[in-house]
Amino acid sequence: MQVLELLKQRRAVRNYEARKVEDSQIAALLEAAVWAPNDRLRELGISM
């Protein structure tokens, strides 16, 4: 599935399930967040 198709099908879900999230899944999400682009190039240590 293409990224654009995924974005178009995205929905907010507020019916949460009480189930454990594996530590490896949390670690993978945190790593993705660290590498994600952000405003003002702060991930590179550059201030504008």
DSSP letters, 1-48, are --HHHHHHH----------PPPHHHHHHHHHHHHHS--GGGGGGT---
Q: What is the value of pTM for the model shown? A: 0.49
Give the separation between CA 35 and CA 10, rounded to whole angstroms: 22
Segment 14-23 shows an average pLDDT of: 91
pLDDT, one tens digit per residue, over 26-44 is 999 999 888 887 776 665 5
